[in-house]
Amino acid sequence: MEIKNNRLVGATFVEANAYNKTATIKPDAIIIHYTAGASGAATVKLFAAKTATTSAHFVVSEDGTITQMVDLNRKAYHAGTSSYNGRSSYNGFSIGIEISNPGYLKKIDGKYYTWWEAKKENKTPVDPSKVFTGKHRNAVTTMTYWYKYTDAQIAAVKELCKAICKAYDIKEILGHEEIAPGRKCDPGPAYPLDELRNEVLFGSNTANLSDIFKEAISKSAATSLTIGKVKVKLNFRQQPSTTAALKSSPIAANSYVYIIGKDSSGEWFNILHEISGWIDKEYIEQDNTDSDYDGWLNSDKAMLYSDQKKSRRMVSDLKTGTKFNILEQQENMFRIKAVVEGWACAKYITEQK
Ligand SMILES: [Zn+2]
């Protein structure tokens, strides 16, 4: 895909009714949405209608077809009241991508319904294979139900974002749910938003990350996720303090970590770091079902060592239930890979953003 003169080359252009037709913008952010509608064609019709008051630059249909509706140097009305990281009113500097998707699903008597079907007397449920169950990034615990995006949409949006990044100096790719939390929940957990921005903005493909890493990220309190590159060999601690106990052996220079939070001073980053080491068989519980993990730890006493001879202890506290993948086995020792959360000095980590 290629952007030329503020348009996606080869894409159908259907002009939206509502957008700022006089002023120009210099986009440096991309906002991902779902339409909460039944089809891409219906959304295009809706934005083009003379009564429309909202719009987006692009609509991505179920089959991955992209329709452009506003030139990329014009302000579309997709973000509404919004702020993130000290900036607000995202319409003024962002490109809006609407992905056709019904969004949040309601569960009634074991069946799942789109918001519009849920209101009807004779409801038609969603095909169960289209239901995604997951925790929203803005929610604390509850698992909720969402309509799956198609592979064609995920691929098309990724290529579209790459093309946009080539044409403009894009610094952020965010979900509407991140710039308007509480008010908006799109694109929701069914959309691989972290993978999209990590790959497109930071050149890191989280599709290659282990499932335990992905789970650690989804379980963390992170409302946004940034990749950080460690500048020096860096201590990894249990608390944001230079006197706090170490979490594991130091993180090697040039390692990548996930920044999931900061302390109030901003001098410490709460990070996720993937570690591997050797552990006694007695502390592990293997899971031979078709799970994404090879097992979990059955004791808080589990210790990770640098080698099978237990020469050096690597992690001070691996919690019961920590999931892992087995890399290697030698008699009673297993080499496992797990993800550990802890703190590191912010000044030694470059945020890839
Ligand atoms: Zn939205």
For the stretch 94-109, pLDDT in tens is: 999 999 999 999 999 9
pTM of the model: 0.64
DSSP 193-204: HHHHHHHHHH--
Amino acid at 268: W
Rounded CA-CA distance 79/267 in Å is 31
Q: Say if residue 283's pLDDT is above 60.
A: yes
Task: Tell me the C-alpha distance between 188 and 176, whole Å.
Answer: 9
How many A from CA of 193 to the centre of ligand 1? 14
Could you give the CA distance from residue 278 to residue 300 in angstroms, rounded to a whole number?
A: 15
Fold assignment, 3-101+150-203: Lysozyme-like (3.40.80)
Identity at 22, one-letter amino acid code: T
Residue-range domain boundaries for the chain: 3-101+150-203, 104-147, 213-351
Complete DSSP assignment for 212-234: HHHHHHHHS--SS-EEEEE-S-B
Whether the predicted pLDDT of 78 surpasses 90: yes
- Note the residue count of the chain: 353
- Cα 167 from Cα 6, distance rounded (Å): 8
Calculate how far, in angstroms, residue 32's C-alpha sits from the geometric centre of ligand 1: 7
Higher pLDDT, residue 204 or 182: 182
Ion ligand 1, residues whose Cβ is below 5 A away: 33, 176, 186
Where do we find the tokens 């159908």? 12
Q: How far is the CA of 76 from the centre of ligand 1 (A)?
A: 12
Tokens matching residue 294: 């090879």
Distance, CA of 259 to CA of 341 (rounded, Å): 10
From the options 2.30.30.40, 1.10.645.10, 2.40.10.10, 2.60.120.200, give the CATH code of 213-351: 2.30.30.40
- List pLDDT tens digits, range 239-280: 999 998 888 888 888 778 888 888 888 899 999 888 888 999
The burial class, CB within 10 Å (0-12 / 13-18 / 19+), for 257 is buried
